[in-house]
Amino acid sequence: MSYPTTTPPPPTPTFLKLSYPAPRVLLATMSREKDLNCMNTAAQWEMDSVWKWLDVEPNLSVAVITGAGKKAFSAGADLKEWNNSMADDADPKNRLGNAPAFKPLSRRLGKKPVIAAVNGLAMGGGTEFAVNCDLVIASETAYFGLPEVKRGVAPIGGALPRLIRTIGLQRASEFALTGRNVTAQEALEWGFVNKVVPQDKVVGEAVKYATMIAVNSPDAIICTRAGLRQGWETAAVERAVEVTLEREFAELQRGENIVEGLKAFTEKREPKWKASRL
């Protein structure tokens, strides 16, 4: 298979199916449909390698993640595997709770944006994925939940502090402490879903947004996202601005794309972007 990338993607034999629906756009489909696209330990390591590759692959600017089938985006952690790993004779190092803890996406910082195309239920880690994605497009039939409190565990994959920043303490508390499901429409009203569409259009709509991002300067995408993330992750607005100026914007100013973008504007033509060095 030939890839529209400078290097082939990392192997994804058990969980992710990768495709390229538009220029500079990666589509990653979680493919454990019979298991509601839940993640075992092997799946977490696959996700980790794909997002690291996305950030260094110069011919990609943005990714979309979705779930196989019509029922589930992701049911989160593979609780059967987690239960087995808790046995007295099991190696503690192999416990799912000691794996990357959904760091590959729910705790990912990264450089390039990822859009969630939530095609069905998103439970536990599935919701944690969506909360940390840069945009969320949800199916009308999708719903979200953090049922960990009902299972004796806790949603420790990064969703709790991020939910507070996105929807506020009281709504985040209602969501996480009751364990109740939240519909896509309610999530839209709360502010952690961008758009709700019919189920058969959710991936296409996410790719549409990804394409609107991907046509822009690769350097500017990375720098702008970094500024947004700094503002989300840090408390002080001015410090967030300073960090972005000192790091990503300083690199952007040394690159070719800022020159090309300004020149194309004055010449009234479309810019021809180079691969980002940020």
Calpha distance 60→90 (Å, rounded): 40
Q: Is 158 a catalytic residue?
A: no
From the list 148, 220, 226, 240, the catalytic residue is 148
CB count within 10 Å of CB 121 equals 23
**Residue 6: which of 60, 43, 45 has the closest Cα?**
60
In residues, how long is the chain? 278
Q: Is 148 a catalytic residue?
A: yes
From the list 67, 124, 125, 158, the catalytic residue is 125
From the list 43, 77, 138, 187, the catalytic residue is 77
CB count within 10 Å of CB 263 equals 12
CB count within 10 Å of CB 23 equals 12
**What are the φ and ψ backbone dihedral angles of 77, each rounded to 5 degrees?**
-70, 150
From the list 46, 57, 81, 128, the catalytic residue is 128
Q: Is 125 a catalytic residue?
A: yes
Calpha distance 142→192 (Å, rounded): 13
Q: Is 77 a catalytic residue?
A: yes
Kindly list the catalytic residues: 77, 125, 128, 148
